[in-house]
C-alpha cells in the first residue's frame, strides 16, 4: 500500500510541479523564497484536500462499499484522462508568483484532484493520515525543486506537457490496478 500511496502522490503532484516550473521564471532575485512559498502552499493544499475528500467520503462510504473499487477506478481514471487531455489542450503560459492571492489560487486549482483521490481513499477504507502527509510532502519537494528547475530551463511548454501526461498515466494505472485487484 505504501508504494501505491507514493505513486498516487507523484501523480497528484505533477500539476503543482509543472506550475512551479513555470513560476521559476517569475522572479530571478527571489527564487529561494518563491520555491519555499510554492512548496508550502502546494504541499499544504494537496495534503489538506486529500484529507478533506476523505472526510467527505465518510458520509457516503457505506452506500458505495460494494462498488468502492469501481469508484476509485472511475475517479482516478477521470482525473488521469483530464490531465492527459489538458496536456494537449491549447497553449500553456508561464505563471508568475506575483502575490499571495495568486499563489493560493494556484494551490487550490492544482489540488482539486486531491479531493477526489481523498474520496477514493475513503471508499477503500484507507486511513488518511499517512497518505495525506506523503502527498503533502512529495508535493512540497517537487514544487520546491520545480521553481529552481524552471529558473534553469525557462518556460518550456513541451516539458509541462510531458509532466502532465506522466501524471495522468500514473493515476489511470493506479485506478486500473485497484479495480483489477478487486475484480480478479
Residues 6+ apart with CB under 8 A from 145: 17, 20, 35
Residue 121: pLDDT over 70: yes
Q: Which of 133, 16, 138, 145 is nearest to 83 (CA)?
A: 16
Q: pLDDT tier at 88 (50, 70, 90 boundaries)?
A: confident
Are the C-beta atoms of residues 26 and 95 closer than 8 Å to each other?
yes
The pLDDT assigned to 97 comes to 62
- Return the C-alpha cell found at 34: 518563491
Q: Give 90's DSSP letter.
A: S
Are the C-beta atoms of residues 8 and 72 closer than 8 Å to each other?
no
- Return the C-alpha cell found at 65: 462499499
DSSP letters spanning 42-76? HHHHHHHHHHHHHHHHHTTTTTSGGGHHHHHHHHH
The SS3 call for residue 67 is helix
pTM of the model: 0.78
Domain layout of the chain by residue ranges: 2-183
- Return the C-alpha cell found at 81: 484522462
123-182 pLDDT, tens digit per residue, is 888 999 999 999 999 999 999 999 898 888 765 556 667 877 887 888 898 889 888 888
Q: What percent of the chain is modeled with pLDDT above 90?
A: 28
> Which is more confidently placed, 163 or 32?
32
70-82 pLDDT, tens digit per residue, is 888 888 888 888 8
> Which is more confidently placed, 57 or 96?
57
Cell 468502492 appears where?
Answer: 68
- Return the C-alpha cell found at 150: 524552471
CB atoms within 10 A of CB 73: 22
CA–CA distance, 115 with 145 (Å, rounded to integer): 24
Residues 6+ apart with CB under 8 A from 34: 23, 24, 26, 27, 97, 147
Give, in degrees to the nearest 5, the angle at Cα 3 between 130 and 80: 95
Amino acid at each position: 500500500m505504501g508504494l501505491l500511496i507514493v505513486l498516487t502522490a507523484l501523480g497528484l503532484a505533477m500539476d503543482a510541479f509543472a506550475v512551479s516550473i513555470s513560476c521559476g521564471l517569475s522572479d530571478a532575485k527571489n527564487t529561494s523564497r518563491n520555491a519555499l512559498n510554492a512548496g508550502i502552499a502546494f504541499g499544504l493544499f494537496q495534503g489538506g484536500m486529500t484529507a478533506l475528500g476523505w472526510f467527505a467520503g465518510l458520509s457516503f462510504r457505506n452506500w458505495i462499499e460494494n462498488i468502492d473499487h469501481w469508484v476509485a477506478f472511475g475517479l482516478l481514471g477521470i482525473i488521469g484522462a483530464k490531465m492527459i487531455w489538458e496536456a494537449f489542450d491549447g497553449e500553456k503560459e508561464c505563471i508568475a508568483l506575483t502575490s499571495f492571492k495568486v499563489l493560493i489560487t494556484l494551490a487550490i486549482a492544482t489540488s482539486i484532484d486531491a479531493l477526489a483521490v481523498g474520496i477514493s481513499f475513503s471508499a477503500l477504507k484507507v486511513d488518511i493520515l499517512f497518505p495525506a502527509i506523503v502527498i503533502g510532502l512529495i508535493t512540497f519537494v517537487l514544487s520546491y525543486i520545480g521553481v529552481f528547475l524552471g529558473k534553469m530551463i525557462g518556460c518550456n511548454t513541451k516539458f509541462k506537457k510531458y509532466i502532465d501526461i506522466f501524471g495522468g498515466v500514473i493515476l489511470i494505472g493506479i485506478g486500473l490496478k485497484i479495480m483489477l485487484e478487486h475484480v480478479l
